[in-house]
Amino acid sequence: MESHSTDHTSSDVPKVIPFHLLKEITNGFSKERIIGSGAYGQVFMGVHKDGEKIAVKMLYDMPGLEEEQFQNELNNLVRLQHQNIVQFVSYCYEIQKKLVKYNGKLVLADKIYRLLCFEYMQNGNLGKYLSDEYDGLDWHTRYAIIKGICMGLKYLHEELKPPIYHLDLKPANVLLDEKMVPKIADFGLSRLFGEEQTLITKSFMGTQGYLPPEYIESNLISKKFDIFSLGVVIIKIMTGPTGYSKCSDMSPQQFIEIVHENWRNRLQATQMCMLESSSK
Protein backbone atom coordinates (compact mmCIF):
# COMPACT_ATOMS: atom_id res chain seq x y z
CA MET A 1 0.00 0.00 0.00
CA GLU A 2 1.27 3.46 -0.91
CA SER A 3 2.25 5.61 2.06
CA HIS A 4 2.92 9.34 1.90
CA SER A 5 2.30 10.79 5.34
CA THR A 6 3.42 14.41 5.55
CA ASP A 7 3.43 14.70 9.33
CA HIS A 8 6.81 15.28 10.94
CA THR A 9 8.41 17.45 13.55
CA SER A 10 11.56 19.51 13.24
CA SER A 11 13.54 16.67 14.90
CA ASP A 12 12.39 14.00 12.43
CA VAL A 13 14.43 12.70 9.52
CA PRO A 14 12.77 13.90 6.28
CA LYS A 15 10.87 11.27 4.32
CA VAL A 16 12.41 9.84 1.15
CA ILE A 17 10.27 9.24 -1.94
CA PRO A 18 11.77 7.12 -4.74
CA PHE A 19 12.21 8.74 -8.14
CA HIS A 20 9.98 6.22 -9.91
CA LEU A 21 7.06 7.16 -7.64
CA LEU A 22 7.53 10.89 -8.22
CA LYS A 23 7.65 10.22 -11.95
CA GLU A 24 4.41 8.26 -11.68
CA ILE A 25 2.44 10.84 -9.67
CA THR A 26 3.54 13.71 -11.96
CA ASN A 27 2.53 11.79 -15.09
CA GLY A 28 6.14 11.49 -16.20
CA PHE A 29 6.89 15.11 -15.30
CA SER A 30 4.57 16.16 -18.11
CA LYS A 31 4.21 19.76 -19.27
CA GLU A 32 0.56 19.68 -18.22
CA ARG A 33 1.65 19.18 -14.60
CA ILE A 34 4.04 22.16 -14.48
CA ILE A 35 2.80 24.70 -11.92
CA GLY A 36 5.89 26.87 -11.64
CA SER A 37 9.51 27.34 -12.61
CA GLY A 38 12.47 29.39 -11.50
CA ALA A 39 16.21 29.72 -11.64
CA TYR A 40 16.76 26.49 -9.70
CA GLY A 41 14.16 24.11 -11.06
CA GLN A 42 10.66 23.33 -12.27
CA VAL A 43 7.70 22.58 -10.01
CA PHE A 44 5.17 19.89 -10.91
CA MET A 45 1.87 18.94 -9.33
CA GLY A 46 1.97 15.38 -8.07
CA VAL A 47 -1.25 13.47 -7.37
CA HIS A 48 -1.13 10.38 -5.18
CA LYS A 49 -3.51 7.47 -5.77
CA ASP A 50 -5.78 8.66 -2.96
CA GLY A 51 -6.06 12.11 -4.58
CA GLU A 52 -3.69 13.95 -2.24
CA LYS A 53 -1.65 16.59 -4.08
CA ILE A 54 1.93 17.69 -3.48
CA ALA A 55 4.28 20.12 -5.21
CA VAL A 56 7.36 18.39 -6.63
CA LYS A 57 10.36 20.59 -7.41
CA MET A 58 12.93 19.01 -9.72
CA LEU A 59 16.21 20.87 -9.37
CA TYR A 60 18.22 21.62 -12.48
CA ASP A 61 21.70 20.20 -12.90
CA MET A 62 23.74 22.93 -11.25
CA PRO A 63 27.54 22.92 -11.52
CA GLY A 64 29.11 23.10 -8.09
CA LEU A 65 26.10 21.71 -6.19
CA GLU A 66 27.69 18.97 -4.12
CA GLU A 67 25.93 16.24 -2.15
CA GLU A 68 26.93 17.91 1.12
CA GLN A 69 25.35 21.20 0.03
CA PHE A 70 22.13 19.40 -0.88
CA GLN A 71 22.08 17.71 2.53
CA ASN A 72 22.60 21.07 4.24
CA GLU A 73 19.66 22.49 2.29
CA LEU A 74 17.50 19.56 3.41
CA ASN A 75 18.46 20.24 7.02
CA ASN A 76 17.47 23.88 6.60
CA LEU A 77 14.09 22.96 5.12
CA VAL A 78 13.31 20.51 7.93
CA ARG A 79 13.90 23.30 10.47
CA LEU A 80 11.14 25.45 8.98
CA GLN A 81 7.98 24.88 11.00
CA HIS A 82 5.62 27.85 10.75
CA GLN A 83 2.09 28.48 9.48
CA ASN A 84 3.37 31.12 7.05
CA ILE A 85 6.21 29.02 5.59
CA VAL A 86 5.47 26.37 2.94
CA GLN A 87 5.81 22.95 4.57
CA PHE A 88 8.61 20.69 3.34
CA VAL A 89 7.25 17.15 2.91
CA SER A 90 9.92 14.86 1.50
CA TYR A 91 12.78 14.58 -0.96
CA CYS A 92 14.46 12.37 -3.54
CA TYR A 93 18.19 11.99 -4.21
CA GLU A 94 19.04 9.24 -6.67
CA ILE A 95 21.95 8.45 -8.97
CA GLN A 96 21.16 6.46 -12.10
CA LYS A 97 23.46 5.23 -14.85
CA LYS A 98 22.69 6.67 -18.30
CA LEU A 99 24.26 6.00 -21.67
CA VAL A 100 25.72 9.18 -23.15
CA LYS A 101 27.98 9.96 -26.08
CA TYR A 102 31.56 10.90 -25.17
CA ASN A 103 34.29 11.31 -27.79
CA GLY A 104 32.12 9.48 -30.29
CA LYS A 105 31.48 6.53 -27.98
CA LEU A 106 28.61 5.51 -25.72
CA VAL A 107 29.65 5.48 -22.09
CA LEU A 108 27.81 5.04 -18.82
CA ALA A 109 27.57 8.28 -16.84
CA ASP A 110 25.98 9.18 -13.53
CA LYS A 111 22.71 11.10 -13.74
CA ILE A 112 21.81 12.71 -10.41
CA TYR A 113 18.17 13.45 -9.63
CA ARG A 114 17.48 15.94 -6.84
CA LEU A 115 13.84 16.66 -6.00
CA LEU A 116 12.13 18.47 -3.14
CA CYS A 117 8.48 17.94 -2.24
CA PHE A 118 6.24 20.49 -0.51
CA GLU A 119 2.62 20.87 0.48
CA TYR A 120 0.45 21.80 -2.49
CA MET A 121 -0.85 25.37 -2.41
CA GLN A 122 -4.22 25.41 -4.12
CA ASN A 123 -4.45 29.12 -4.96
CA GLY A 124 -1.02 29.48 -6.54
CA ASN A 125 1.26 32.45 -6.02
CA LEU A 126 0.39 35.96 -4.89
CA GLY A 127 1.63 37.53 -8.12
CA LYS A 128 -1.38 36.49 -10.17
CA TYR A 129 -3.73 38.28 -7.74
CA LEU A 130 -1.83 41.55 -8.07
CA SER A 131 -2.02 41.91 -11.84
CA ASP A 132 -3.89 44.87 -13.31
CA GLU A 133 -6.48 42.44 -14.67
CA TYR A 134 -7.28 41.01 -11.23
CA ASP A 135 -8.79 43.20 -8.53
CA GLY A 136 -10.91 40.70 -6.66
CA LEU A 137 -9.10 40.72 -3.30
CA ASP A 138 -10.91 42.78 -0.68
CA TRP A 139 -9.02 44.87 1.84
CA HIS A 140 -9.48 42.37 4.69
CA THR A 141 -7.87 39.62 2.59
CA ARG A 142 -5.00 41.86 1.53
CA TYR A 143 -4.35 42.90 5.13
CA ALA A 144 -4.35 39.25 6.25
CA ILE A 145 -1.86 38.40 3.49
CA ILE A 146 0.44 41.27 4.50
CA LYS A 147 0.29 40.22 8.15
CA GLY A 148 1.00 36.58 7.29
CA ILE A 149 4.05 37.46 5.18
CA CYS A 150 5.37 39.65 8.01
CA MET A 151 4.91 36.84 10.53
CA GLY A 152 6.72 34.36 8.28
CA LEU A 153 9.63 36.74 7.77
CA LYS A 154 9.81 37.50 11.51
CA TYR A 155 10.07 33.76 12.14
CA LEU A 156 12.97 33.41 9.69
CA HIS A 157 14.86 36.42 11.05
CA GLU A 158 14.19 36.32 14.79
CA GLU A 159 12.86 32.94 15.90
CA LEU A 160 15.26 30.66 14.03
CA LYS A 161 18.75 30.23 15.48
CA PRO A 162 20.76 30.91 13.39
CA PRO A 163 18.41 33.09 11.34
CA ILE A 164 17.69 32.55 7.65
CA TYR A 165 17.55 35.41 5.15
CA HIS A 166 15.33 34.65 2.17
CA LEU A 167 17.01 37.06 -0.32
CA ASP A 168 14.36 36.71 -3.03
CA LEU A 169 11.08 37.75 -1.41
CA LYS A 170 8.54 38.74 -4.08
CA PRO A 171 4.88 37.97 -4.91
CA ALA A 172 5.85 34.94 -7.02
CA ASN A 173 7.50 33.40 -3.94
CA VAL A 174 4.46 33.85 -1.70
CA LEU A 175 1.99 30.99 -2.14
CA LEU A 176 -1.65 30.91 -1.03
CA ASP A 177 -3.54 27.92 0.35
CA GLU A 178 -7.24 27.17 -0.06
CA LYS A 179 -8.07 29.73 2.65
CA MET A 180 -5.79 32.38 1.10
CA VAL A 181 -3.28 32.01 3.94
CA PRO A 182 0.11 33.23 2.63
CA LYS A 183 3.18 31.04 2.93
CA ILE A 184 6.70 32.07 1.97
CA ALA A 185 8.32 29.66 -0.50
CA ASP A 186 11.40 29.08 -2.66
CA PHE A 187 14.47 29.27 -0.45
CA GLY A 188 16.86 28.62 -3.33
CA LEU A 189 18.91 31.74 -2.58
CA SER A 190 18.51 31.73 1.19
CA ARG A 191 21.50 32.11 3.46
CA LEU A 192 22.14 31.03 7.03
CA PHE A 193 23.56 33.79 9.20
CA GLY A 194 25.26 33.11 12.50
CA GLU A 195 26.82 35.74 14.70
CA GLU A 196 27.98 37.67 11.63
CA GLN A 197 24.72 39.31 10.59
CA THR A 198 26.09 41.16 7.54
CA LEU A 199 28.27 40.10 4.63
CA ILE A 200 29.51 41.27 1.25
CA THR A 201 28.93 38.89 -1.66
CA LYS A 202 30.15 38.72 -5.24
CA SER A 203 27.23 36.51 -6.27
CA PHE A 204 24.08 38.08 -7.71
CA MET A 205 21.06 37.73 -5.45
CA GLY A 206 17.37 38.47 -5.72
CA THR A 207 15.16 40.01 -8.40
CA GLN A 208 15.36 43.44 -10.00
CA GLY A 209 12.89 45.81 -8.38
CA TYR A 210 13.15 44.13 -4.98
CA LEU A 211 16.84 44.86 -4.30
CA PRO A 212 17.82 47.36 -1.58
CA PRO A 213 20.18 50.25 -2.43
CA GLU A 214 23.01 48.96 -0.20
CA TYR A 215 23.05 45.71 -2.16
CA ILE A 216 22.96 47.40 -5.58
CA GLU A 217 25.73 49.80 -4.60
CA SER A 218 27.96 47.66 -2.36
CA ASN A 219 26.75 44.02 -2.59
CA LEU A 220 25.93 44.25 1.13
CA ILE A 221 23.59 41.60 2.56
CA SER A 222 21.80 41.76 5.92
CA LYS A 223 18.25 41.21 7.11
CA LYS A 224 17.48 44.68 5.72
CA PHE A 225 17.63 43.02 2.29
CA ASP A 226 14.42 41.08 3.04
CA ILE A 227 12.82 44.08 4.77
CA PHE A 228 13.27 46.23 1.66
CA SER A 229 11.77 43.46 -0.50
CA LEU A 230 8.89 43.18 1.97
CA GLY A 231 8.18 46.90 1.59
CA VAL A 232 7.91 46.53 -2.19
CA VAL A 233 5.59 43.53 -1.80
CA ILE A 234 3.35 45.41 0.66
CA ILE A 235 3.04 48.42 -1.66
CA LYS A 236 2.13 46.14 -4.57
CA ILE A 237 -0.49 44.37 -2.45
CA MET A 238 -2.04 47.73 -1.58
CA THR A 239 -1.79 49.38 -4.99
CA GLY A 240 -1.16 46.79 -7.69
CA PRO A 241 1.84 46.86 -10.05
CA THR A 242 0.72 50.02 -11.85
CA GLY A 243 0.29 51.94 -8.61
CA TYR A 244 3.74 50.91 -7.43
CA SER A 245 5.41 52.02 -10.66
CA LYS A 246 3.92 55.51 -10.20
CA CYS A 247 5.04 56.00 -6.59
CA SER A 248 8.52 57.25 -7.53
CA ASP A 249 7.01 60.12 -9.53
CA MET A 250 5.14 61.74 -6.63
CA SER A 251 5.54 62.76 -3.02
CA PRO A 252 4.67 60.29 -0.24
CA GLN A 253 1.55 62.30 0.64
CA GLN A 254 0.35 62.33 -2.96
CA PHE A 255 0.89 58.59 -3.21
CA ILE A 256 -1.06 57.94 0.01
CA GLU A 257 -3.95 60.10 -1.21
CA ILE A 258 -4.12 58.25 -4.53
CA VAL A 259 -4.15 54.87 -2.76
CA HIS A 260 -6.95 56.06 -0.45
CA GLU A 261 -8.94 57.36 -3.41
CA ASN A 262 -8.55 54.13 -5.34
CA TRP A 263 -9.75 52.09 -2.38
CA ARG A 264 -12.71 54.41 -1.77
CA ASN A 265 -13.73 53.99 -5.41
CA ARG A 266 -13.34 50.23 -5.21
CA LEU A 267 -15.41 49.98 -2.02
CA GLN A 268 -18.13 52.16 -3.50
CA ALA A 269 -18.24 50.03 -6.64
CA THR A 270 -18.48 46.88 -4.50
CA GLN A 271 -21.34 48.35 -2.47
CA MET A 272 -23.20 49.34 -5.65
CA CYS A 273 -22.87 45.81 -7.02
CA MET A 274 -24.20 44.38 -3.76
CA LEU A 275 -27.18 46.75 -3.81
CA GLU A 276 -27.98 45.89 -7.42
CA SER A 277 -27.78 42.17 -6.68
CA SER A 278 -30.06 42.44 -3.64
CA SER A 279 -32.67 44.44 -5.58
CA LYS A 280 -33.04 41.78 -8.29
**Any idea which residues carry the catalytic annotation?**
168
Q: For 193, phi and psi rounded to 5 degrees?
A: -125, 120
Q: For 98, phi and psi rounded to 5 degrees?
A: -130, 140
What's the CA dihedral at 148, 151, 153, 155 to 10 degrees?
A: -140
236 is in an annotated binding site: no
96, β-bridge pairs: 111
Contact present, 240 and 255 (Cβ < 8 Å): no
Pairing mode, if any, of strands 15-16 and 88-102? parallel
Residue 104's Cβ-count burial label (10 Å; 0-12, 13-18, 19+) is exposed
Contact present, 150 and 237 (Cβ < 8 Å): no
Binding-site residue ranges for ATP: 57
